[in-house]
Structures are given as structure tokens and as C-alpha cells.
Chains A and B, each alone.
Chain A
Amino acid sequence: MDIFLQQIVNGLVQGSIYALVALGYTMVYGILGLINFAHGDICMIGALTALTVAQVLASMGLPAPLVLALAALAAVAVCCGLGVSIERAAYRPLRRAPRLAPLITAIGVSVLLQYSAALVWGKQYLSMPELVKPSDIEMGGIHLTDLQAFIFLLACAVMAALLWFIRSTRAGRAMRATEQNPDVAGLMGVNVNHVIAVTFLVGSAVGAIAGMMVVLYYGIGHYFMGFMLGLKAFTAAVLGGIGNVAGAMVGGMLLGVVESLAAGYIGDLTGGVLGSNYRDIFAFLVLVLVLVFRPSGLLGERVADRT
């Protein structure tokens, strides 16, 4: 039993990271109808920026909390600037173009970011200095570090703040209006370009935090880490209902838990025919089932196709 609970805890922590990244996908999709494939790589840039800043500051002997705060700040600043400039340079000129054009551009931007990062940081695995040794929290045979608990709570807090931002602020209302119909929102006095820039800004900031959590948690980062992270997070966003902010959270957590349970029990379930390296089968099987029975995702609503 404690093994089962431990697997759930593992999955929730992993899922929190997926959820944070998925928020970026889902917000941009909600507003633009664009799948921003470069988002995973923005997270990677955030992760490596945080890692480098932490390495430099830690070697200067600054106290750990200050190092972490500055690293987070640097990562957020770099990613916000990057996200907004990518939108301005790569996506805005294509906003009226057929859907395929911005999608392919997004893939191009993703490759561009990967190889730029490879030039800056090299292609090796980089290791994050161990600033604070995570302390162990044990409850009834379940092991949890304070870092894991922090990642989970942070994801919940970011999520709650975003929901509040979208539902209750003026900028949030402008976002919702733009989501429904950019042209009409523009006629009503909403600065659509501004709203879209804010969406990329917020999404990238959350992505930077997610990236930093990854290097903190696993202790390693490299230029290609954004690819798989982005793919899983995109799956999570689709699972929860792409375009729906709460859905990204639910999808992320669910994907994390399903993966964890699959890896833990797939061997027993199949009598040893399939090993734990086949865990992705289960994750994507869930995705296929959701798409067959609820094509718009778990929390997604049916929307008329906007062309």
C-alpha cells in the first residue's frame, strides 16, 4: 500500500511540472489557436539560465536563498523577453496566414532555440549546484522531500493566481474577450496586440519557473531537455482540454500519476512481457481514450471552429 501511495506522490510532483509547462501551451492556444511548439524550449532556456546564474552566484559564496531568488528572477526576465520577442518577430506577421504557417514557424523557432542554447551552453549535461540539501519528510513509509512539496504547492499557487488573473482583472477580461473573437474585441477598444503580448509574457514567466523547478529537482539540464518536456506538457494540455487553464492543471497531474503508476505496475500487469520502459504507452493510451470519448479534453468545452 505504501508503495502505491509513494507512486501517487511521485506522479503528483512530476505532474505539477507538466502542469506548469502546460499552462503556457494552453493560454497561447486559447487566445491565438496556435500550438506554440517553442514553449518547451523557452522552459529549457529558463532552466539553463537559472542553472548558470546559480552556478556563478554560488561560487561567489552568496547565501542559498538569495542565489535561488536571483536565479529565478533572471530566468523569468530572460524568458519573458524571449517569449515576447518571439511573438513579435515570428508569430505576429503570420497572424492572418493559414494555420499551417505559424505552426511550422513554431517548430522552426523550437529548433532555433535548441541550437542557440547548444552554442551558448554546449551540448553536455550541466549540473545544478546542490544549494540546499532537500530534507526528507517521512509519513507512514512515504518519502517526500521539502523540495517536492514546494514544487507541488508552487504549481497550485501559480494556477490559482492565473485563474484569479483571468477571471477577475481587467487584463483578464480583455484576454477572454480576445479569446472569443479578436476582431470584435478590437472594435470594443481592446488592444489585441497588447493582450497577446501579455499572454506570451505570462506563459513564458510560468515556463521559466517550471524550467527552474526541473533543474532544481533533477539537478541536471541540457539543451535538448525542452523537447520531451514540451511534448509531455502538450499532451497534458490536450488531455485537460487545450485552451482551458484549469484543464492544463488537471491534465498535467493526471498524466504524471498515470505515468508513475504505469511504470510501477506495467511489469506485473503484463506478466513481465512489457517492462517499465513502456510506460509512455499508458500515458498516450489515456490520451487516445480521452480524445475518442471527449474530443475536446476532460474540461474542454465544445467550441465552434474559428477560421
Chain B
Amino acid sequence: MSYLSKADMIHPPAVRALLAFAFALMLAGCGREAPKPSDVITVRIGAASPLTGPQAHIGIDIRNGVQLAIEDANAANPEIGGKKVKFELIAEDDEANPTKATTVAQKLVDSKVAAVVGHFNSGASIPASKIYSDAGIPQISPSSTNPKYTQQGFKTAFRVVAHDDQQGPTLGKFAIEKLKARTIAVIDDSTAYGQGLADAFEATVKAGGAKVVAREHTTDKDTDFKAILTRIRGRKPELVMFGGIDPQAGPMVKQMAELGMKAKFMGGDGMQTPNFIKLAGGAAEGVMASIPGLPKDQMPGGRSFLDRYKAKFKSEVELFAPMGYDAVMVFIDAMKRAGSTDPAKFLPEVGKTRYQGVIGPIAFDSKGDLVNGPITVYVVKGGKWEALETVTPGAAPAAAADGTKK
């Protein structure tokens, strides 16, 4: 079900309320039918990501990762606290929309999920985390990198990626130390993710002595950037950094080439996708982007995961499927240690996780952030993303960024 704002206009609220009520009844019905004659307990795992809209390819990727994990777990006939359990996936579409995300979160809570993997966008994870926290349901975001997500004091919010206060400064350090860029232009897409990343980057390069000659903003719906790029061209930067996602980054790089701009281009994980290279065409060559985690095929469980994913879903892993997969496994691991599938019982165990996942060792700090999440910078070479350098941030870069934000 996907209502867009325009479609909303033609559904009178009463009709929608009725629909919602009917749907709630259906769900309630499902819930009552669930217990089977056997003594197998069904444990529901929620997955929330954009399954429709411009970011659907990334959201579906996450859902596929979660689905694969659940199938793997069920195949091992799991037992928790001496009882046989069966895991069940409930996947919801948040449309990358913060408002829809809270609706979806409530829906998952109402359908009594034990844990949630999601959401994809920081802008969706942050408002939804309040609802999961109130319900006491643990949430692991596979991909939301805005620092605020874990800084709200919710005991239920975790993530298995490095956050922007780590990613932004790493990119910034890379720009200054490796690329030796002295004049830099920064663009963001006005989303929580894009702006957070761009702010952290800007603070680091300024602290490193580079000059930010232009700071521009666009939106996550635009495809025409000629005007802001022309302005940036006038300031003659050596490097352009973009905080945003591939549907914008692709045309942006193309239009830079059309305007005769020679500046280098770099960005974060939102544009480190095969789709970016398709969208940017020949102009993608030489573009750099960082991504939290190790290179896909250098992950400890990487190669075999990629092969199994491809065999099952007939497509390449886009971005965050391994994180979605590991998030489920972390939950199940915590349930096993607690000997219970009750969120109230196994939630404390999630925080104590020491798990060897597809993406590498997983452990959380007191806020729920991934400890020592590595970040890798990639470059497009011959029409493919190639790993350039892996950096493990530790605490230092984040501190540097904080120190300059006055």
C-alpha cells in the first residue's frame, strides 16, 4: 500500500480510517490463527525500509538480506530456552518518508514483532525509534548513519554501521591527507543523512586547513544541478563533496562534465552503488565514495554471502543486505543467550553482543553504536567500484569534528 501525498487528497479521512480499521481487524485475525497445534513458537521479526519510490532498490536489498537470515535461521531448527521456535518476517514499506515510518513502526509494534531491522533512512529511523523504545522492542538499523539516531538515550536503538561523525571526518581526512585538496565545495541534499554527512566533512576539512569555497544545497528529488554547479565552477574548487544518494549524484557528476568542470568528486555510502555508475555514465570515472564496513568481498563472510544472495534473488547485493542479515543474527544470538524471545528479557543481551557476522566482528558501545566500524573509500575505475583504502576510525576523528563545531 503506498499513498503519496497527492493520492491522499482523494481519500477522504473517513474512508482511510475505515480502511485502517479493516486492516487492523485483518491483522488481529491473523494473530489469533497463528498458534499451531505443535509446540513451535512463532517469533516475528520486522523489517522496515523503502520498498517503493526512488530508493526502493536499496530498501529491497535490505529486506532480502533479512529474509535470507530468517530462512537460514529456520533451516537450523532453532531452539530458544528449550522450546522450538520459527522465525517469521514482516516486511513493511516506509517509502523513505518520516511520517510513513512512524505509521509503519506502530504497525509493527501492533503486530507484536520481537525485534525490528530498520529503517534505511536516518530521517525514518529517528522518529520511528521513539515508538520502538516506548514499546520496548529492540531496533537495529542496518544503514542509518546520522549520529542523532543513537544519541536520543533510547535503550532499544542500535546500528551496525559507522555513523556520520565517523564517516564524514574519515572522508574529510582522506580529502586533505591523500588528495591534498585545498579548495573544496560542499553540496548536500537537505536530508538528515546528507546534511549530517556534509556538516561533519566540512568541519574536518576546515580544521585541516582547507578552504570551503562554496556550500550548496539541493533536494532528494531534483535532477537539475546546473545552476548550483555553475556557481561552484565560478569558485574554482579542486574537489566537490556531495552528501546524498545516487539518483542525485549520478546526474550531478554528468552535469559537472557538461559544464567543463575538472574538479574531483567524492561522496558517502549513499552513492557507492552500481546504480550510480549506470546513472553517471562515462563521467563516473575517478569518482570516490566511502562506505562503512569492509569491501563486500573482503568481509569475513563476504564471498559466500554474495554468491548465495545472487543465487536466491538473481541480482547483485546493492549495499546493505549483509548488514540486514547480520542484524537478524545478532537478535537471534541475543535471544539464545537470554533463553527467551521476550523483548524485555533479551534486550539487555543485545547490548552485550560479541558476534562474528558477515560484515566482521559486531559489538556495541553504550549508546548502541557499532564499535570500531571500519570505513572504506572506493574509486570508480573502468566502470566499477574498486576499494582504495580502508580506515578504522576509532574515537579520534569524531573528537576532531566536535572540537571545530563552535
Residues of A within 8 A of B254 (CB): 218-219
Q: Quick check: B218 and A133 within 8 Å, CB to CB?
A: no
Interface check B159, CB cutoff 8 A: no
Residues of A within 8 A of B259 (CB): 6, 143
Interface check B226, CB cutoff 8 A: yes
- Give the complex CA separation of A224 and B246 in angstroms: 16
Give the residue of A14, A123, A130 whose beta carbon is less than 8 angstroms from that of B282: A130
Q: Quick check: B231 and A276 within 8 Å, CB to CB?
A: yes
Q: Quick check: B224 and A14 within 8 Å, CB to CB?
A: yes
Within 8 A of A (CB), among B179-217: 190, 215-217
Q: Closest residue to A134 on the B side, CB-wise?
A: B258
Interface check B278, CB cutoff 8 A: yes
Interface check A228, CB cutoff 8 A: yes
Residues of A within 8 A of B4 (CB): 111, 224
Interface check B268, CB cutoff 8 A: no
Q: A3-B233, A107-B6 are in contact. Are A218 and B224 (CB under 8 A)?
A: yes
Within 8 A of A (CB), among B227-278: 227-228, 230-231, 233-234, 246-247, 250-251, 254, 258-260, 275, 278
Residues of B within 8 A of A138 (CB): 260
- Give the complex CA separation of A262 and B226 in angstroms: 12
Q: Quick check: B56 and A124 within 8 Å, CB to CB?
A: yes
- Give the complex CA separation of A109 and B216 in angstroms: 37
Give the residue of A219, A220, A228, A279 whose beta carbon is less than 8 angstroms from that of B221: A228
Q: Quick check: B251 and A219 within 8 Å, CB to CB?
A: yes
- Give the complex CA separation of A305 and B308 in angstroms: 67
Q: A269-304: contact bitstring with B at CB < 8 Å (1 yes, 0 no)?
A: 000000111010000000000000000000000000
Q: Quick check: B54 and A104 within 8 Å, CB to CB?
A: no
Residues of B within 8 A of A127 (CB): 250, 275, 278-279, 281
Within 8 A of B (CB), among A12-54: 13-14
Q: Is the interface of B mostly helix, strand, loop or mixed?
A: helix
Q: Quick check: A263 and B258 within 8 Å, CB to CB?
A: no
Residues of A within 8 A of B75 (CB): none
Q: A70-113: contact bitstring with B at CB < 8 Å (1 yes, 0 no)?
A: 00000000000000000000000000000000001001101100
Q: Is the interface of A mostly helix, strand, loop or mixed?
A: helix
Q: A123-B53, A134-B258, A277-B190 are in contact. Are A263 and B228 (CB under 8 A)?
A: yes
Residues of B within 8 A of A169 (CB): none
Smallest beta-carbon distance A290→chain B, Å: 21
Q: Quick check: B6 and A111 within 8 Å, CB to CB?
A: yes
Give the residue of A6, A118, A133 whose beta carbon is less than 8 angstroms from that of B230: A6
Q: Quick check: B233 and A222 within 8 Å, CB to CB?
A: no
- Give the complex CA separation of A277 and B260 in angstroms: 23
Q: Quick check: A10 and B52 within 8 Å, CB to CB?
A: no
- Give the complex CA separation of A118 and B2 in angstroms: 12
Q: Quick check: A279 and B227 within 8 Å, CB to CB?
A: yes
Residues of A within 8 A of B218 (CB): 276-277
Interface check B396, CB cutoff 8 A: no
Q: A108-B10, A276-B217 are in contact. Are A10 and B226 (CB under 8 A)?
A: yes
Interface check B367, CB cutoff 8 A: no
Smallest beta-carbon distance B353→chain A, Å: 34
Smallest beta-carbon distance B3→chain A, Å: 10
Interface check A165, CB cutoff 8 A: no
Interface check B7, CB cutoff 8 A: yes
Smallest beta-carbon distance A51→chain B, Å: 12
- Give the complex CA separation of A220 and B234 in angstroms: 27
Q: A206-230: contact bitstring with B at CB < 8 Å (1 yes, 0 no)?
A: 0000000000001110101101100
Q: Quick check: A118 and B52 within 8 Å, CB to CB?
A: yes
Give the residue of A134, A220, A275 whose beta carbon is less than 8 angstroms from that of B251: A220
Interface check B9, CB cutoff 8 A: yes
Residues of A within 8 A of B53 (CB): 123, 224
Residues of B within 8 A of A263 (CB): 227-228, 231
Interface check B219, CB cutoff 8 A: yes
Q: Quick check: B6 and A104 within 8 Å, CB to CB?
A: no
Interface check B99, CB cutoff 8 A: no
Interface check A164, CB cutoff 8 A: no
Interface check A145, CB cutoff 8 A: yes
Q: Quick check: A133 and B7 within 8 Å, CB to CB?
A: no
- Give the complex CA separation of A8 and B250 in angstroms: 23
Interface check B148, CB cutoff 8 A: no
Interface check A178, CB cutoff 8 A: no
Interface check B366, CB cutoff 8 A: no
Q: Quick check: B6 and A264 within 8 Å, CB to CB?
A: no
Q: Closest residue to B254 on the A side, CB-wise?
A: A219
Interface check A150, CB cutoff 8 A: no
Q: Quick check: A136 and B275 within 8 Å, CB to CB?
A: no
Q: Closest residue to B230 on the A side, CB-wise?
A: A6
- Give the complex CA separation of A134 and B283 in angstroms: 12
Smallest beta-carbon distance A17→chain B, Å: 9
Q: Quick check: B226 and A276 within 8 Å, CB to CB?
A: no
Q: Quick check: A7 and B260 within 8 Å, CB to CB?
A: no
- Give the complex CA separation of A125 and B9 in angstroms: 25
Interface check B223, CB cutoff 8 A: yes
Q: A107-B10, A218-B251, A219-B251 are in contact. Are A123 and B52 (CB under 8 A)?
A: yes
21 residue pairs from A and B, CB less than 8 Å apart: A3-B233, A3-B234, A6-B230, A11-B227, A104-B10, A110-B6, A123-B52, A125-B279, A130-B282, A133-B282, A222-B54, A222-B247, A225-B223, A228-B221, A259-B227, A264-B227, A264-B231, A276-B218, A276-B227, A276-B231, A277-B217
The interface of chain B, by Cβ under 8 A from chain A, is: 4, 6-7, 9-10, 52-54, 56-57, 190, 215-219, 221, 223-224, 226-228, 230-231, 233-234, 246-247, 250-251, 254, 258-260, 275, 278-279, 281-282
A sample of 15 more A-B contacts (CB under 8 A), given A107-B10, A122-B56, A267-B231, is A10-B227, A111-B4, A118-B52, A123-B53, A125-B279, A130-B282, A136-B258, A143-B260, A219-B254, A219-B279, A224-B53, A261-B227, A264-B228, A275-B215, A276-B217
The interface of chain A, by Cβ under 8 A from chain B, is: 3, 6-7, 10-11, 13-14, 104, 107-108, 110-111, 118, 122-125, 127, 130, 133-134, 136, 138, 143, 145, 148, 218-220, 222, 224-225, 227-228, 259-265, 267, 275-277, 279
Q: Top 10 closest A-B pairs, CB basis?
A: A263-B227, A275-B217, A277-B217, A10-B226, A3-B234, A143-B260, A127-B278, A260-B227, A130-B281, A123-B56
